[in-house]
């Protein structure tokens, strides 16, 4: 069992480690490692198109996650507050983006937005359509996260608020929002990872001016893997690992607070 | 709503002062959650001010629904509810000066103990200093002043119970509602808190409406008990009245009686059943109840057994339960099974199969109305 | 005891509901349901000049999908569908075989370490899927130790890499979806009632029987949930077969995508996408029904 665990760890991290390793290779080869060099990083920071792709990636991830968190939180709370009604249609609507194959998702929006653009002049493919597309698959995940947090609560807590003189707005401000805060934060970070992980939907809803890092890498691969790509990928991996370390630190700090 | 009685002041000043201004009056309350789920089926009830009033009944009888209607958390389909003489049937929960101690306590996990207790005052818009002062007074009164800085997940069950109580009492409600507040606690702690709740109610002179399914708990604590069944009130009265003179078989069984018989026929002197004769005046169609603790169990051949006269039942021991202070026998008399209780005075026990005679005191023969 | 607050107020409650869910509902309807509906109509339109859809309505796209072209019937498209199904089944089975012991191992580790171990499993999936594919391209490329080893063992001819190949696609799929199986399985293992294993042992079961009767039934809900999370997206996978499979190992996702890029035949691509949606929904329904029959609870089940 332990052997399998370590083998899986090797399998999980070997591809990432190789990317990081070859990003420091002084020659353009994935077969042999010649010497340590920062050559590809220098090339990367000199390339305006890469920097603008990084900027687009960051804007896309942050803006879509903020919108999705707001929209999804409201939807999750609405689903909970009215769970006695027949809300099958709403649940189907929430699950639809989750189960839809992302390739279908991407081309549906591509064909829809391009038709809309030729009909109205708005909705040209670009960062705007990408943000719209991302929100539409992020928000359901946030809604489900918020909903599951609410379902786990004692329903009497809502009664206790009314019993203790809180009106609807006071209840939202002094009970619901503070109680949901961890779920909302988790939802935001989930939306962020979903956005960062996505390639297909971004690819089909992007325009010429809105290349993101994964799209840049994709088209570079289509031209043949270059170590410059490894350098970009290494920076992205580094960002993710930093986020993971922060997550872990938070978990352990919270665990210790509860233990004390 | 603006009385400035803090619990502490009440304790010092006017112990036991009944408050004539707060009585709950329910008229014709109906509530249904669908055609097959009638929670309240025409409830009329007057809850005396300053009393410890208990709603007793099996689960699903409507007692919690009734409590929620009084709190304003649910609204009735029909009927009126007034608190302190004011009709509050359509008043929202957060505008009623009524507070609840929930069965699950429903303490806010994102707030510490002090903030939980002060929540209601904060929602009413009191200033920080007032909130702090009143939280401290109430915490001292409930003896949880050492817990004020704790988080909820650091509290034991009994501590949570006290915090929930303090959170309700600090608002000085006209009525305190308690929804099975002790049911999650183990037996020892439960007994302690029963006495403590009673002590608090007596000191504050506040109207407590207490919900429970446990008839022992209801009897120990209450001034008045209302027994509910299927959304209707079966009987209202003092604990002794309910136990000694239950109005109908349901109340009798719920108060723990098992020697209960329907009366089909009677003659001039009394009643003949297959287990023997009982003296008294019985109406056909009603029920008769034999209180087990007034049936004296004797060996069948003992001289004091009373021969074949009325109110002596010949029986055979089928089961016996040793309960420490007393023995409980299940005996068969003809086709009928009876339960008799014998105080444990070290006299030894009857064996299973032993022939015995039960002498029934006339005071223990109760005729029910229904 | 208290019945659920079954009564649902009047208009103000409905406005409350709509106010909360309207932004999300409108967003999803306008930007997802409407595009999907539009895509479906495209599938029934004629392929016009520049690959863009035109009237009149026709079933030509579906005929083409079934293999009828200018040159008569060819099974190529059916091969793609078959290959996609096979890859999905294979990858899902492999993921289960690996994830099962891993999830069990994590659930038996000291409680203090479990969050760290779960995080270790999940973190690679936080990176972009294109980057994960690059990692495997680096490892499997010609001249790398892995490729040399495979050549030395005679699996591939020398100087060829391990990618592009079916094998690389399968590996990429397993790598990509492993966390989605480990998490639900971990959830069921964590709540495993070990008394059932003891009971099976007590009744004379050997290791295998104890597992089969004491452990496996309890983990089936997690297994069903994991299968949904793995098989459904694996079936629609685009990036991995495209990068690791090369042109000869096309999966359905690539076939769809190509009609909207290079080959430009929107109706044909839309028809293939429609087939994909139908297959996904059917697969989901089958898995859900299985999951429910296996006693899956809604907590784990999607």
Q: What is the pLDDT of residue A182?
A: 86
For residue C59, pLDDT over 90 is answered with: no
The boundaries of the domain holding residue A110 are 48-224
Winning range, highest mean pLDDT, from A104-113, B333-342, C47-56, C96-105: C96-105
Please name the member of A136, A218, A225 whose beta carbon is closest to the beta carbon of C137.
Answer: A225
**Distance (Å) from the alpha carbon of C69 to chain A's nearest alpha carbon:** 23
| pLDDT tens, residue by residue, C4-24 | 344 456 777 888 888 888 899
For residue B65, pLDDT over 60 is answered with: yes
For residue C136, pLDDT over 70 is answered with: yes
| B23 and B48 Cβ atoms separated by less than 8 Å | yes
Q: Is residue C258 part of a domain?
A: yes
Q: Is residue A28 part of a domain?
A: no
A and B: number of Cβ contacts within 8 A: 69
Distance CA(C5)–CA(C14), nearest Å, equals 15
| B286 and B370 Cβ atoms separated by less than 8 Å | yes
Phi then psi dihedrals of residue A113, to 5 deg: -65, -35
For residue B99, pLDDT over 90 is answered with: yes
Q: What is the pLDDT of residue C90?
A: 92
CB-hemisphere CA count at 13 Å for A181? 9
Domain count, chain A: 1
For residue B66, pLDDT over 90 is answered with: yes
The boundaries of the domain holding residue C264 are 78-293
Q: Which two tokens stand for residue B260?
A: 């209960």
Domain count, chain C: 1
Q: What is the pLDDT of residue B47?
A: 92
Give the pLDDT band of residue C301 (cuts 50, 70, 90).
very low
Closest residue by Cα to residue B79 from B2, B8, B20, B27: B27
**Which neighbouring-strand residues pair with B228?**
B233
Task: Look at the block and give the residue holding tokens 């183990």.
Answer: B186
For residue B5, pLDDT over 50 is answered with: no
The 10 Å Cβ neighbour count of residue A257 is 9
Closest residue by Cα to residue B261 from B363, B333, B353, B352: B333
Q: What is the pLDDT of residue B13?
A: 38
B and C: number of Cβ contacts within 8 A: 16
Counting residues of chain B whose pLDDT is more than 70, the rounded percentage is 88
Please name the member of B94, B102, B111 whose beta carbon is closest to the beta carbon of A156.
Answer: B102
For residue B1, pLDDT over 70 is answered with: no
Q: Is residue C21 part of a domain?
A: no
What CATH number is associated with residue A75? 1.10.3720.10
The pLDDT of C262-287, averaged and rounded, is 83
For residue C100, pLDDT over 80 is answered with: yes
From chain C, the residues in CB contact with B33 under 8 A are 3-4, 6-7
C144 with A30: Cβ contact below 8 A: yes
Q: What is the pLDDT of residue B364?
A: 79
Q: What is the pLDDT of residue B367?
A: 82
Please name the member of C2, C4, C6 whose beta carbon is closest to the beta carbon of B64.
Answer: C2
Distance CA(A86)–CA(A94), nearest Å, equals 14
Q: Is residue C155 part of a domain?
A: yes
Q: What is the pLDDT of residue A206?
A: 87
Name the DSSP letter for residue A112: H
Q: Is residue A139 part of a domain?
A: yes
| B223 and B50 Cβ atoms separated by less than 8 Å | no
The pLDDT of B109-127, averaged and rounded, is 94
Closest residue by Cα to residue A77 from B278, B114, B311, C24: C24
B37 with C3: Cβ contact below 8 A: yes
| C234 and C177 Cβ atoms separated by less than 8 Å | yes
| pLDDT tens, residue by residue, C64-89 | 777 666 666 677 778 888 888 888 99
Q: What is the pLDDT of residue C255?
A: 83
Which CATH architecture describes the domain B7-97+173-254?
3-Layer(aba) Sandwich (3.40)
Distance CA(C183)–CA(A241), nearest Å, equals 19
Q: Which of B323-327, B337-341, C200-204 has the lowest mean pLDDT?
A: C200-204
Q: What is the pLDDT of residue C6?
A: 40
For residue B18, pLDDT over 60 is answered with: no
Closest residue by Cα to residue A136 from C29, C22, C278, C19: C29
Q: Is the dihedral of CA B12, B14, B16, B18 positive or negative?
A: negative
What CATH number is associated with residue C239? 1.10.3720.10
Name the DSSP letter for residue C3: P
The more confidently predicted of residues C51 and A111 is: A111
Closest residue by Cα to residue A126 from A109, A151, A144, A149: A109
- In this complex, the chains that touch A, judged by 3 or more CB pairs closer than 8 A, are B, C
Nearest residue in chain B measured CA to CA from C8:
B33
Q: What is the pLDDT of residue A258?
A: 59
From chain A, the residues in CB contact with B68 under 8 A are 159
Distance CA(B239)–CA(B218), nearest Å, equals 7
Q: What is the pLDDT of residue C5?
A: 43
Averages of pLDDT over each 10 residues, chain A, 260 residues: 89 90 75 72 82 91 95 93 84 86 88 83 83 93 90 91 92 93 88 89 86 88 76 88 84 67
For residue B370, pLDDT over 80 is answered with: no
| pLDDT tens, residue by residue, C183-215 | 989 988 888 888 888 888 888 777 888 888 878
Q: What is the pLDDT of residue B250?
A: 92
Distance CA(C271)–CA(C258), nearest Å, equals 13
Which CATH architecture describes the domain B260-367?
Beta Barrel (2.40)
Please name the member of B92, B104, B124 whose beta carbon is closest to the beta carbon of A154.
Answer: B104
The mean pLDDT of chain B is 85
The 10 Å Cβ neighbour count of residue B274 is 9
**Domain segments of chain B as ranges:** 7-97+173-254, 260-367
Q: Is B287 on the interface with A (CB under 8 A)?
A: no
| pLDDT tens, residue by residue, B269-295 | 667 777 777 777 777 667 888 888 888
Winning range, highest mean pLDDT, from A46-50, A233-237, B18-22, B113-117: B113-117
């Amino acid at each position: 069992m332990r052997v399998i665990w370590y083998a899986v760890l090797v399998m999980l991290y070997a591809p990432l480690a190789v990317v990081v390793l070859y990003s420091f290779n002084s020659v353009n080869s994935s077969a042999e490692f010649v010497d340590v060099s920062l050559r590809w990083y220098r090339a990367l920071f000199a390339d305006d198109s890469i920097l603008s792709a990084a900027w687009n990636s960051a804007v896309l991830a942050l803006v879509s996650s903020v919108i999705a968190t707001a929209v999804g939180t409201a939807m999750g709370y609405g689903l909970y507050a009215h769970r006695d009604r027949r809300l099958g249609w709403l649940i189907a609507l929430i699950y639809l983006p989750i189960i839809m194959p992302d390739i279908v998702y991407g081309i549906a929006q591509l064909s829809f937005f391009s038709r809309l653009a030729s009909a109205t002049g708005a909705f040209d493919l670009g960062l705007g359509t990408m943000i719209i597309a991302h929100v539409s698959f992020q928000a359901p995940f946030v809604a489900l996260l918020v909903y599951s947090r609410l379902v786990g609560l004692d329903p009497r807590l809502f009664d206790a608020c009314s019993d203790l003189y809180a009106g609807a707005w006071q209840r939202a401000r002094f009970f619901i929002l503070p109680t949901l805060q961890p779920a909302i934060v988790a939802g935001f970070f989930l939306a962020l990872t979903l956005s960062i992980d996505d390639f297909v939907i971004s690819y089909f809803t992007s325009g010429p001016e809105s290349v993101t890092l994964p799209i840049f890498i994709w088209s570079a691969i289509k031209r043949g893997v270059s170590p410059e790509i490894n350098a970009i990928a290494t920076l992205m991996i580094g960002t993710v690992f930093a986020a993971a370390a922060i997550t872990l630190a938070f978990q352990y700090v919270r665990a210790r607070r509860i233990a004390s | 709503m603006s009385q400035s009685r803090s619990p502490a002041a009440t304790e010092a000043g006017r112990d036991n002062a009944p408050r004539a201004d707060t009585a709950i009056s329910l008229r014709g309350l109906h509530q249904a959650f669908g055609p097959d789920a009638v929670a309240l089926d025409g409830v009329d009830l007057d809850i005396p001010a300053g009393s410890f009033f208990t709603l007793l009944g099996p689960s699903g009888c409507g007692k919690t629904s009734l409590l929620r209607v009084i709190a304003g958390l649910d609204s009735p389909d029909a009927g009126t509810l007034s608190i302190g003489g004011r009709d509050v049937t359509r008043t929202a929960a957060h505008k009623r000066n009524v507070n609840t101690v929930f069965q699950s306590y429903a303490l806010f996990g994102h707030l510490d103990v002090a903030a939980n207790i002060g929540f209601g005052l904060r929602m009413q818009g009191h200033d920080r200093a007032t909130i702090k002062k009143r939280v401290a007074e109430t915490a001292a009164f409930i003896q949880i002043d050492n817990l004020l800085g704790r988080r909820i997940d650091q509290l034991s069950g009994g501590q949570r119970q006290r915090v929930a109580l303090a959170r309700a009492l600090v608002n000085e409600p006209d009525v305190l509602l308690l929804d099975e507040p002790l049911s999650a606690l183990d037996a020892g702690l439960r007994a302690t808190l029963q006495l403590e709740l009673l002590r608090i109610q007596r000191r504050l002179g506040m109207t407590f409406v207490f919900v429970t399914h446990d008839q022992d708990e209801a009897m120990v604590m209450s001034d008045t008990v209302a027994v509910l069944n299927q959304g209707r009130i079966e009987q209202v009265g003092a604990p002794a009245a309910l136990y000694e003179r239950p109005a109908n078989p349901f109340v009798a069984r719920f108060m723990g009686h098992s020697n209960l018989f329907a009366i089909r026929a009677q003659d001039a002197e009394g009643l003949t059943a297959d287990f023997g004769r009982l003296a008294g005046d019985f109406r056909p169609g009603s029920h008769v109840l034999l209180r087990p603790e007034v049936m004296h169990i004797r060996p069948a051949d003992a001289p004091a057994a009373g021969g074949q006269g009325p109110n002596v039942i010949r029986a055979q021991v089928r089961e016996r339960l040793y309960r420490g202070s007393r023995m409980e026998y299940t005996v068969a008399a003809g086709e009928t099974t009876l339960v008799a209780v014998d105080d444990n005075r070290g006299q030894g026990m009857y064996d299973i199969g032993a022939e015995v005679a039960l002498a029934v005191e006339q005071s223990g023969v109760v005729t029910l109305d229904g | 005891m208290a019945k659920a607050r079954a009564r649902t107020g009047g208009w103000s409650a409905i406005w409350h509901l709509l106010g909360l869910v309207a932004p999300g509902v409108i967003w999803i309807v306008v930007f997802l349901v409407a595009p999907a509906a539009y895509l479906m109509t495209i599938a029934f339109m004629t392929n016009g000049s520049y690959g863009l859809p035109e009237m009149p309505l026709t079933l030509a796209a579906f005929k083409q999908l079934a293999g009828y072209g200018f040159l008569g019937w060819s099974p190529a498209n059916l091969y793609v569908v078959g290959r996609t199904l096979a890859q999905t089944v294979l990858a899902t089975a492999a993921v289960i075989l690996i994830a099962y012991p891993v999830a069990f191992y994590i659930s038996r580790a000291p409680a203090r370490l479990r969050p760290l171990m779960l995080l270790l499993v999940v973190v690679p999936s936080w990176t972009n899927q294109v980057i994960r594919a690059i990692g495997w391209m680096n490892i499997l490329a010609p001249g790398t130790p892995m490729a040399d080893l495979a050549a030395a063992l005679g699996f591939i001819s020398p100087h060829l890499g391990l990618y592009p190949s079916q094998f690389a696609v399968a590996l990429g799929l397993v790598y990509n979806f492993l966390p989605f199986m480990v998490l639900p399985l971990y959830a069921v293992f964590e709540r495993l009632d070990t008394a059932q294993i003891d009971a099976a042992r007590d009744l004379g079961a050997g290791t295998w029987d104890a597992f089969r009767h004491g452990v496996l039934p309890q983990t089936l809900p997690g297994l069903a949930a994991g299968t949904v999370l793995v098989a459904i997206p694996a079936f629609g996978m685009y990036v991995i077969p495209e990068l690791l499979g090369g042109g000869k190992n096309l999966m359905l996702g690539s076939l769809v995508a190509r009609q909207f890029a290079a080959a430009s035949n929107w109706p044909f691509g839309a028809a293939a996408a429609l087939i994909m949606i139908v297959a996904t929904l059917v697969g989901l329904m089958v898995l859900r029904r299985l999951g429910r029959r296996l006693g899956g609870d809604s907590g784990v089940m999607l």
